[in-house]
Amino acid sequence: MVRSKRILFLAELTKGYNTVLDIGTDHGFVLEKAFEMGYIKKGIASDLREKPLKSAENNLKNYPVTFVISDGFLAIKEHFDLAVIAGMGAYLICDIMKHAPKEDITYILQSNDKTEILREFLHNNGFMITNEYLVKDKFFYVVLEVKRGKSLMSQEDFILGPILKMKPESCLLYNKKLEQIDKIYESADEKRKEELNKMRKIYKNNELC
Ligand SMILES: C[S@@+](CC[C@H](N)C(=O)[O-])C[C@H]1O[C@@H](n2cnc3c(N)ncnc32)[C@H](O)[C@@H]1O
């Protein structure tokens, strides 16, 4: 089945793991692609709501998958070595990560917005970013690979990304961000203007582009 570049990319990142938990699975497309490509052995598809989980059940019926209604990690009992949380807002992913297991597993996180908020949360809550990727699909998507561990990020890293800031393709993203800041600046309130000014300065002064 043809899927978006974002879904294909997320599925690629499951390569080499045994059991992959997909939180907020919706249609189950990430797991479906991961199985189709032969990347994983087992899946746990979970969602907060029944309707999307039924849709995942339908798409994943030929694969070894457990289906669980769960708010984030809360009702997940089975062991997994990779958790994917993608296609949601940054604040929701932060809330879900507050209940992440203590074991040494890997997380693939992709928020649809405000990746800087997610990075700052990870930094303050005992997670380190081990890799970052930029996916250009309909929009730009930033995908984080995360583990538990000590993080050494600065304020600049929250915005630019500690690893993205060294990857040449990030210039496309930074320029897009500057355009977006210009577009929303005039209608922003004073507090937001202050934040936008800080972000603009960091995007402009990056050492990469
Ligand atoms: C926009 S879809 C993203 C689907 C897929 N992960 C992707 O990347 O395309 C978001 C899904 O997350 C689910 N969701 C929202 N809050 C959740 C939570 N606290 N725990 C688990 N799933 C949640 C929604 O029901 C919805 O199916």
**Interval 20-71: pLDDT, tens:** 999 999 999 999 999 999 999 999 999 999 999 999 999 999 999 999 999 9
Q: Looking at the structure, do residues 28 and 131 belong to the same domain, yes or no?
A: yes
Q: Looking at the structure, do residues 102 and 10 belong to the same domain, yes or no?
A: yes
87 CA → ligand 1 middle, Å: 7
> Ligand 1: which residues within 6 Å by Cβ?
23-26, 47-49, 52, 71-72, 86-88, 92, 96
What letter does residue 51 receive in the DSSP assignment? H
Q: Looking at the structure, do residues 205 and 133 belong to the same domain, yes or no?
A: no
Question: Ligand 1, from 88, 91, 108: best to mutate by most atoms within 8 Å of Cβ?
Answer: 88
161 occurs within a structural domain? no
Domains in the chain, number: 2
Q: Looking at the structure, do residues 49 and 135 belong to the same domain, yes or no?
A: yes
CB atoms inside a 10 Å sphere around CB 184: 11
Q: Which atom of ligand 1 is least distant from the CA of 26?
A: 27
159 occurs within a structural domain? no
What residue type is assigned to position 209 of the chain?
C
Sequential DSSP letters for 72-94: TTTT--S--SEEEEEEE-HHHHH
**Interval 124-169: pLDDT, tens:** 999 999 999 999 998 999 999 999 999 999 999 999 999 999 999 9
195 occurs within a structural domain? yes
What residue type is assigned to position 178 of the chain?
L
The pLDDT value given to residue 35: 97
Q: Looking at the structure, do residues 104 and 195 belong to the same domain, yes or no?
A: no
Structure tokens at 132: 């970052």
26 conformational bin, left if phi > 0, alpha if psi -120 to 50, beta if neither: left
- 38's CB contacts (< 8 A; 6+ apart) are none
Q: What backbone torsions phi and psi does residue 88 show, to the nearest 5 degrees? A: -125, 175
CA 113/CA 26 separation, integer angstroms: 18
CA 8/CA 26 separation, integer angstroms: 15
